[in-house]
Amino acid sequence: MCAEEQLLRQDARLQLALSRFNSGDWYGSHDLFEELWHETQGPCRPVLQGVLQIAVAQYHLERGNHHGATVLLGEGIGRLARVESDSLGLDIETLKILATDRLQRLQQGMPLDTCPPLRLTPASAQPSVH
């Protein structure tokens, strides 16, 4: 774990951002992730940006902006595709799978009401393959 990741994991704002993300407070979580993203210059930067883009996509969905949500989901998934699956100690892989399912449904005009909720949980204790 690099020094930047260690500092971010200890930052109370990250925990608050995760709590807001997991409770569906998309705008609030976006603000916190964006604040951290602006302060980050190393390898954790794309993780933060990808997650905040997914949060903003969800915010757009709440407001009926399916085009904006589709664009931002795609961008967020693209950023997360290039990071470790357990970056920041989080289960990024599951988030990518859930977000990709939503993106595909949006692109196909399918309802999202049966999608599992987007959550950012701690990475599993299983060793990751790098």
Domain that holds residue 53: 3-107
Confidence (pLDDT) at 14: 96
How many domains would you assign to the chain? Answer: 1
Q: Is residue 33 part of a domain?
A: yes
Q: Which long-range contacts (C-beta less than 8 Å, at least 24 apart) are formed by 6-10? A: 8/36, 8/40, 8/44, 8/48, 8/88, 9/88, 9/89
Residue 100 is assigned to a structural domain of this protein: yes
Mean pLDDT value across residues 15-23: 96
Give this prediction's pTM: 0.91
Residue 123 belongs to some domain of the structure:
no
In the prediction, which pLDDT does 111 show?
Answer: 84
pLDDT attached to residue 128: 43
Domain assignment of residue 120, yes or no: no
In a domain, 82, yes or no: yes
Residue-averaged pLDDT of the chain: 91
Report if residue 125 sits inside a domain: no
Predicted confidence (pLDDT) per residue in 76-129, tens digit: 999 999 999 999 999 999 999 999 999 999 999 888 888 889 999 998 744 444
Q: What is the reported pLDDT for 41?
A: 94
SS3 annotation, the chain: CCHHHHHHHHCHHHHHHHHHHHCCCHHHHHHHHHHHHHHCCCCCHHHHHHHHHHHHHHHHHHCCCHHHHHHHHHHHHHHHCCCCCCHHHECHHHHHHHHHHHHHHHHCCCCCCCCCCCCCCECCCCCCCC
Task: Tell me the CB-side half-sphere exposure of residue 47, using CA atoms within 13 A.
Answer: 24
In a domain, 124, yes or no: no
**How many Å from the N-terminal Cα to the C-terminal Cα in the chain?**
13
- Residue 68 scores a pLDDT above 60: yes
In a domain, 75, yes or no: yes
CATH number of the domain encompassing residue 35: 1.10.3450.10
